[in-house]
């Protein structure tokens, strides 16, 4: 039986630490840090199959420009339980607990070239992003990030807003593409420029590789090119007042959609 609960004890933090290390094969977050965070407004949720911990989400209070939010630092699912919808379930439980504790926003980061995360965070949860952080964590050594700048989108999840509570659908029809792609001689997508001098349209789109990890394994230089080319386009859009609201996967590529942030019912 799959169930979830809020975690608070040191023994529970140790279980999370063990799962953290199993999933990422890297140094886990120390238990003294996680246990202190949950005693001071943080939230640690565990997902269980019987007595076995199979997933967790961890967040702590964040504060910026006078605004309080929950900083959702980590979400991990045991390898045997991935791609079964448990990540989305944990995020929804995190939202439920965060609302009960008085939070109105949850923030977290993800790599915009990891499109499975983009689809969950934007298309399913109705998160939005208008912040791009270059090389957010510096040089990372784990399998997913090794060899590339650790660029990140910062997601803002307005958990009390009509945009989220009513699952509003932004208008993305008629999006103007800011890039395209071609397939090279070995079947890998390559970035193709589309010129757009002034960003004034209602909706724009930008494509990225659907399976970035496979592309990186096959051609590291091509992966770097996608990182740098999309970095420039994302930053131009965000500086012009757009926010990304959807990610739509296709066969080879996945498409991000951008609208003016001012068109969304975010509250506050």
What is residue 222's three-state secondary structure? helix
Of residues 195 and 110, the one with the higher pLDDT is: 110
| pTM score, whole prediction | 0.94
The residues facing 58 across adjacent strands are 44, 74
- Write down the pLDDT at residue 140: 56
Please indicate, yes or no, whether residues 132 and 6 belong to a single structural domain of this protein: yes
- Using alpha carbons, select from 169, 137, 171, 164 the residue that is nearest to residue 152: 137
Domain boundary among 140, 165, 190: 165
pLDDT digits (tens, 9 = 90+) for 149-205: 999 999 999 999 999 999 999 999 999 999 999 999 999 999 999 988 899 999 999
Q: Is residue 208 part of a domain?
A: yes
Q: Is residue 171 part of a domain?
A: no
User: Into how many domains does the chain fold?
Assistant: 2
CB neighbours (10 Å) of residue 201? 15
Tokens 């068109």, residue?
263
Please indicate, yes or no, whether residues 159 and 73 belong to a single structural domain of this protein: yes
pLDDT digits (tens, 9 = 90+) for 61-98: 999 999 999 999 999 999 999 999 999 999 999 999 99
Domain boundary among 165, 190, 216: 165
What is residue 114's three-state secondary structure? coil
Inter-residue contact 179 to 251 (CB < 8 Å): no
Q: Is residue 21 part of a domain?
A: yes
Do β-strands 189-193 and 176-177 pair in parallel, antiparallel, or remain unpaired?
unpaired
- Token couple for 187: 């079947």
How far is it, in rounded angstroms, from Cα 145 to Cα 163? 32
Inter-residue contact 71 to 98 (CB < 8 Å): no
- Structural domain that includes position 230: 176-263
Domain boundary among 118, 134, 165: 165
- Write down the pLDDT at residue 55: 98
């Amino acid at each position: 039986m799959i169930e979830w609960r809020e975690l608070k004890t040191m023994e529970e933090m140790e279980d999370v630490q063990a799962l953290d290390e199993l999933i990422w094969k890297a140094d886990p977050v120390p238990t003294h840090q996680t246990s202190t965070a949950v005693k001071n407004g943080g939230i640690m949720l565990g997902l269980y199959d019987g007595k076995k911990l199979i997933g967790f989400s961890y967040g702590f209070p964040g504060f910026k420009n006078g605004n309080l939010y929950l900083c959702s630092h980590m979400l991990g699912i045991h390898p045997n339980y991935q791609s079964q919808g448990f990540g989305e379930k944990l995020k929804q439980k995190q939202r439920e607990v965060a609302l009960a504790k008085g939070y109105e926003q949850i923030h977290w980061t993800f790599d915009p070239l990891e499109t499975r995360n983009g689809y969950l965070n934007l298309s399913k949860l109705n998160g939005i992003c208008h912040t791009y952080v270059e090389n957010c964590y510096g040089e990372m050594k784990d399998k997913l990030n090794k060899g590339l700048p650790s660029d990140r989108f910062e997601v803002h999840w307005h958990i009390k807003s009509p945009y989220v509570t009513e699952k509003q659908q932004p208008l993305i029809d008629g999006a103007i593409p800011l890039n395209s792609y071609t397939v090279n001689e070995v079947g890998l997508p390559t970035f193709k420029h589309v010129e757009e001098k002034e960003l004034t349209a209602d909706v724009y789109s930008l494509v990225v590789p659907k399976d970035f990890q496979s592309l990186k394994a096959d051609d590291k230089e091509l992966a770097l090119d996608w990182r740098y080319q999309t970095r420039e386009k994302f930053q131009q859009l965000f500086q012009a007042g757009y926010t990304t609201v959807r990610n739509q996967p296709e066969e080879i590529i996945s498409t991000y959609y951008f609208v003016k942030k001012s068109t969304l019912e975010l509250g506050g």
